[in-house]
Structure 1
Amino acid sequence: MTDISSHAFDQAVLSCRQCPRLSGFLQTVKNQHPDYHARPVIAFGAAMPKLLIVGLAPGMHGANRTGRPFTGDFAGILLYQTLHRFGFATRNDSISADDGLRLMGCRITNAVKCLPPENKPIPQEIKQCNQYLSVEINQFMKGGGIAVLALGTVAHQAVLMSLQLKAKDYPFAHGAVHAVPSSSGNGLRLYDSYHCSRYNTQTKRLTAEMFAQVFVQIITDIKL
C-alpha cells in the first residue's frame, strides 16, 4: 500500500470493513441516522503539509456525521480556533465538509478511522487501522513533513507504532517533544497534547493557553 495514489488510498480507507465490531457499529448508526456519513473518515488538509495532526477516532455526531475530522462537534472547537489563530486554517470553526474551510501547511487524520462504541477502540482495532496511519506518516515524511502532533495517549502510541518505535522510549506527556528517527532525514518531531475533547476542555485539564503553547513550540521549530 506504500505506493498507492492519494485517491486510491482514500477509497481504500472509505471501503475498509476489516474490523467487524466497528463495521457492525457503523451500520447500526447508519440505520439510526440515515443522513450521517457513518463510514471510515479520511484525512483532511494540505496535500504536502509540514504539520500532521493525529486524533483518536471520529466522534459520533462530529466526523462520523459530517465525514471530515473534528468537524461539527465540540472536540473541533478549540482545535480549529487554534489552527486559525496560528495561520493553519482559513476560518476559526469547522461546521460541515462543504463550509469552504481550507487548511494550509497542515493535515488532520485519526489513529482509528471508524467511530468506535463509547469512543473507545480496542487494541486490535488500533493495530489493524495502523496500516493506514503508517502510509499517511510515510507519505507525510516523503513530502517534507517534520512535525506530528498527537492528541492524546492513543494517538501518540499509534504514531510510534506506525514508526515501529517502542512506547516506553517516548513517554506521552502534555507539551512533550520527541525527536524520532525519520526515513526522510528531515528530523521528524513528535509533539504531545492532551486531546481537545469536551471532557478535557471543560474540566480545564486542557486550556486554550496550554494548547496554544504547543503550537507556539511547533511553529518555532518548523520556522513558520
Structure 2
Amino acid sequence: MDSSPAGSSDPGNVGDLDGMGASGDLDAPPDLDDLDALADLDARIAGCRACPRLVAWREEVARTRRAAFADQTYWGRPVPGYGPADASLLIVGLAPAAHGGNRTGRMFTGDRSGDVLYAALHDVGLASRGTSVSADDGLELYGVRVTSPVHCAPPANKPTPGERDTCRPWLVRELELLRPTLRSVVVLGAFGWQAALPAFAAAGWTVPRPRPVFAHGARVSLGAQDGPSARSVELFGCFHVSQRNTFTGRLTPAMLRDVLRTAAGAAGLTTRPYDG
C-alpha cells in the first residue's frame, strides 16, 4: 500500500517508527508566512511533532495496528488536507481516525465516516467516486478540499483544547492560501465549528459577535476584510459524519446531501440531482 497521502509531498518513509521519539516541541508550529503553496504546507504539516500526547498515540497505533490491517504500513503522522489548491468549497472535520486517516494518510479515508462523506460528495457530483479506501485509489474531488482543525489522530477521538489551539496555525495558513478561490465552507460538528471560527478570524475574515452557535443547517456569512483578495465566505454547519450520528439517524445521507448541495451552490459549483 502506498504510504504517501494523495495530493501531498511524501516527507519520508513512516513505516519505521521505532526510532521516533514521543517528545515534541510544545510551541506552536513555526512561522508559516514563507509557505506560498498548499503542497508545501501539506508537507510541513506531515512532519509536525508539536503535541507529545498525539505523537505518542498516533505512532503507537501505527505500530500495533488493527488486526484487519496487520499487513499494511500505517501513515502514522499528521494528515494534511486533501483536494485541489483552487477549491471553492472547503469541508472541515474534526481529526483523523486512528485506523482511517492515520492509517491511509488521507483525510476521511479508510473508515466508515469517510464512506458516508465521500458517498454523499459523489452523489451530488463533487467526487469522482463514492468510496475512499486508500491514498492511491484514484479519488478526485471537484472544486472541494477536505481538512481538519487537528491533523493527528487523538485518543478516544477527543483532542484537548490545547492540542486544538496548537494546531490552529496550520488551518489559518491553509485558509489564507485558499482565500483567492474559497467561497463556502461546511463544518462537520460542534468541535470543528468552535475551532474554525477563530481560525477564520485569524485568516482575515470578520466573524459576527457574539460568535454564532453551531447547529445543523446553520448558515453564517463571514465578511471579508480589506485587501486585493478580500472575499466573503458562507459558513454552513452540519452534524459530523460519525458512526454515532449516522447509525442513529441523527444525520441521514439525505441531510448531508442537502447541506453539501446548498454549500456547493454558494461556492458556484454545479451539482447533480441524486437519483439513487
Q: Which has the higher helix share?
A: 1
Aligned pair count reads 223
Q: Determine the structure 1 residue equivalent to 2:100.
A: 62
User: 1:159-207, CA deviations, whole angstroms, 9 ceiling, x for partnerless residues?
Assistant: 1010234784211000111001234432211111000111100011101
Which of the residues 125, 148, 157 maps onto 2:185?
A: 148
Quote the Cα distance in structure 2 between the aligned partners of 1:218 and 1:206: 17
Is 2:59 the counterpart of 1:17?
Answer: no
Which of the residues 215, 224, 227 maps onto 1:173?
A: 215
Q: Determine the structure 2 residue equivalent to 1:139.
A: 177
**1:52/1:148 contact within 8 Å kept:** yes
Q: Determine the structure 1 residue equivalent to 2:77.
A: 39
**2:95/2:149 contact within 8 Å kept:** yes
Q: CA shift at 1:103, angstroms?
A: 0.7
**1:157/1:167 contact within 8 Å kept:** no
Q: Determine the structure 2 residue equivalent to 1:199.
A: 244
* TM-score, reference length from structure 1: 0.94
Q: Which moved more, 1:167-176 or 1:40-49?
A: 167-176
Task: From the superposition, tell whether residues 191 and 210 of structure 1 become closer, same or farther in structure 2 (CA, over 3 Å).
Answer: same
Q: CA shift at 1:48, angstroms?
A: 0.5
Task: From the superposition, tell whether residues 72 and 50 of structure 1 become closer, same or farther in structure 2 (CA, over 3 Å).
Answer: same
Quote the Cα distance in structure 1 between the aligned partners of 2:217 and 2:126: 19
Quote the Cα distance in structure 2 between the aligned partners of 1:85 and 1:153: 25
User: 1:67-113, CA deviations, whole angstroms, 9 ceiling, x for partnerless residues?
Assistant: 00001100011110111112211011111100011111000011100
Which of the residues 167, 180, 184 maps onto 1:129?
A: 167
* TM-score, reference length from structure 2: 0.77
Unaligned runs of 5+ in 1: none
Q: Determine the structure 2 residue equivalent to 1:162.
A: 199
What is the RMSD of the two structures over their aligned residues, measured on CA atoms?
1.5
Which of the residues 234, 243, 262 maps onto 1:189?
A: 234
Q: Determine the structure 1 residue equivalent to 2:204.
A: none
**1:89/1:101 contact within 8 Å kept:** yes
- Aligned sequence identity (%): 40
Quote the Cα distance in structure 1 between the aligned partners of 2:33 and 2:186: 22
Q: CA shift at 1:66, angstroms?
A: 0.5
Q: Which moved more, 1:45-54 or 1:210-219?
A: 210-219
Quote the Cα distance in structure 2 between the aligned partners of 1:162 and 1:88: 25
Quote the Cα distance in structure 2 between the aligned partners of 1:150 and 1:66: 22
Counterparts in 2 of 1:70-109, with a 5 A limit?
70-109=108-147
Quote the Cα distance in structure 1 between the aligned partners of 2:218 and 2:262: 10
Give SS of 1:163's match: helix
Which of the residues 139, 147, 150 maps onto 1:112?
A: 150
Quote the Cα distance in structure 2 between the aligned partners of 1:105 and 1:219: 9
Unaligned runs of 5+ in 2: 1-31, 66-71, 202-206, 270-276
After TM superposition, where is structure 1 displaced by more than 4 Å over at least 4 residues in a row?
A: 165-168
Larger Rg: 2
